[in-house]
């Protein structure tokens, strides 16, 4: 039986691959984007199984309208994929107030608003699945991704709690943690600050590390994500890609080692 997917940010990257693969699999998709002309080609793939809706996740009226359209057209929503987001690149004192607020408006408050708008639908159904796109930067952080990582840490935090809140209504939650993929994330979708010379050494260190990182195939990543989501017991967290799996395991291991090192001293604070 085909499923209905509500997906944000489908004009590029993972979102575009989600729509293409799901339509090929026979599912139904509400594909959203800030500009409809960027996703018109989806209609050619399966005109009867895709609905296009304008949605800027920073505009609540557009979110509510798109959700209503989804219900009106397909009658239900099985999966809500919170994919819309972008990266902010720079050192803390280089960010402007506007850049900081915009990062959280899109990556955090946008996700929250989509969840709040769709939750009544999923609760009435007694079923549904939230798929919140985080990042392996949602578990660790490095310069120059402090603000981007903090936005993904926020997604991880509220998703973990919501998973427990929503479970009694038959609603599942999965946090997706991809590594670096060949999408627009490192190009057009990246907002960069005006660099200060005193951080040149940190930028050089980052660029040296980036040259050694494995850049994954987004189509293959999305294929994996969909197969796991459609399985019988999807996990709360799903690392995507060997780089993500290795990095997240290493980050948690180091954190646990530090907790153990300071455990006895920490316990004295009771």
The yes-or-no verdict on residue 152 having pLDDT over 70 is: yes
152 is catalytic: yes
The yes-or-no verdict on residue 217 having pLDDT over 70 is: yes
pLDDT tens, position by position, 245-257: 999 999 999 999 9
Q: What is the pLDDT of residue 187?
A: 56
Tell me the residue range of the domain where 48 lies: 4-267
pLDDT tens, position by position, 157-174: 999 999 999 999 999 999
What domain count does the chain have? 1
* Percentage above 70 pLDDT, the chain: 97
Q: What is the pLDDT of residue 191?
A: 79
The yes-or-no verdict on residue 241 having pLDDT over 80 is: yes
pLDDT tens, position by position, 171-212: 999 999 999 887 666 555 577 888 999 999 998 888 887 777
Lowest-pLDDT range of 11-20, 39-48, 214-223, 253-262:
214-223
**Catalytic, out of 3, 28, 152, 172:** 152
206 is catalytic: no
**Catalytic, out of 11, 134, 150, 159:** 134
HEC readout, the chain: CCCEEEECCCCCHHHHHHHHHHHHCCCEEEEEECCHHHCCCHHHHCCCCEEEEECCCCCHHHHHHHHHHHHHHHCCCCEEEECCCCEEEECHHHCCHHHHHHHHHHHHHHHHHHHHHHHHHHHHHCCEEEEEECCHHHCCCCCCEHHHHHHHHHHHHHHHHHHHHHHCCCEEEEEEEECCECCHHHCCCEEECCCCHHHHHHHHHHHHHHCCCCCECHHHHHHHHHHHHCCCCCCCEEEECHHHHHHHHHHHHHHHHHHHHCHHHHHCCC
Q: What is the pLDDT of residue 206?
A: 83
The domain spanning residue 220 has which CATH number? 3.40.50.720
Q: What is the pLDDT of residue 209?
A: 76
**Catalytic, out of 86, 95, 130, 148:** 148
76 is catalytic: no
């Amino acid at each position: 039986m085909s499923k209905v997917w509500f997906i944000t940010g489908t004009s590029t990257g993972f979102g575009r691959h989600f729509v293409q693969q799901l339509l090929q699999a026979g599912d139904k998709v509400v594909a959203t984007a800030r500009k409809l002309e960027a996703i018109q080609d989806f209609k050619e793939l399966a005109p009867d199984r895709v609905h296009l809706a304008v949605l800027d996740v920073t505009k609540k009226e557009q979110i509510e309208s798109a959700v209503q359209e989804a219900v009106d057209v397909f009658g239900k929503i099985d999966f809500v994929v919170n994919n819309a987001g972008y990266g902010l690149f720079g050192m803390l004192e280089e960010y402007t107030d506007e850049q900081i607020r915009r990062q959280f408006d899109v990556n955090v408050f946008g996700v929250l608003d989509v969840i709040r708008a769709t939750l009544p639908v999923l609760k009435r159904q007694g079923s549904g699945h939230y798929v919140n796109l985080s990042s392996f930067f949602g578990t660790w952080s490095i310069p120059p991704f402090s603000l981007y990582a903090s936005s993904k840490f926020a997604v991880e935090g509220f998703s973990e709690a919501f998973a427990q809140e929503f479970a009694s209504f038959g609603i599942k939650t999965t946090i997706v943690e991809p590594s670096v993929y060949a999408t627009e994330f490192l190009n057009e979708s990246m907002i960069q600050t005006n660099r200060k010379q005193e951080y040149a050494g940190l930028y050089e260190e980052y660029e040296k590390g980036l040259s050694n990182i494995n850049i994954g195939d987004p189509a293959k990543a999305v294929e994996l994500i969909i197969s796991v989501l459609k399985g019988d017991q999807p996990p709360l967290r799903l690392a995507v890609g060997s780089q993500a799996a290795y990095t997240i395991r290493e980050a948690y291991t180091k954190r646990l080692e530090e907790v153990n090192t300071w455990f006895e001293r920490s316990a004295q604070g009771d």
